[in-house]
């Protein structure tokens, strides 16, 4: 059960580690802890103003990833709905509804 819960972020971090390369860009952190992502990096990764980024760490490294909500049950990120504050895909919602119909 625990292994299943951590499998998704672990996979993403492993994928990022294999593709690490220096862009030769150094940016200073400002007084509020902010940095500016270079324009070419934002274009390349399709990051627009107000988009959300998810933050991971791996040893001494900080990894940023464009945030895509995933289903809490199956990790799918298509057709997402929010149910009681949790992201759930339509497929899992239908499956849950089917189970309530057949539980009698
Ligand atoms: Zn799902």
For the chain, list the domains and their CATH numbers: 2-66 (2.10.260.10), 69-104 (no CATH)
Question: Which is nearest to 82 in space by CA: 97, 95, 69, 91?
Answer: 69
In whole angstroms, what is the distance from residue 2 CA to residue 39 CA? 39
Round the CA-based radius of gyration of the chain to a whole number and report it: 18
Give distance in angstroms: CA of 88 to centre of ligand 1: 5
**pLDDT per residue as tens digits for the range 2-59:** 444 445 555 555 555 556 778 888 999 999 999 999 999 999 989 999 999 999 998 8
**Ligand 1: centre distance to CA 90 (Å):** 7
Helix, coil or strand: residue 86: strand
Ligand 1 (ion): residues with CB under 5 Å are 71, 73-74, 76, 89, 92
88 burial (CB, 10 Å; 0-12 / 13-18 / 19+) is: buried
């Amino acid at each position: 059960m625990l292994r299943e819960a951590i499998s998704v972020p672990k996979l993403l971090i492993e994928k990022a580690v294999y593709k690490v390369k220096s862009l030769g860009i150094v940016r200073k952190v400002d007084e509020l802890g902010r940095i500016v992502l270079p324009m070419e990096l934002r274009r390349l990764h399709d990051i627009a103003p107000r988009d959300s980024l998810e933050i991971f760490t791996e040893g001494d490294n900080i990894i940023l990833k464009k945030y895509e909500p995933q289903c809490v049950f199956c990790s799918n990120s298509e057709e997402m709905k929010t149910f009681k504050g949790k992201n759930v895909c339509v497929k899992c919602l239908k499956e849950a509804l089917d189970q309530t119909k057949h539980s009698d």
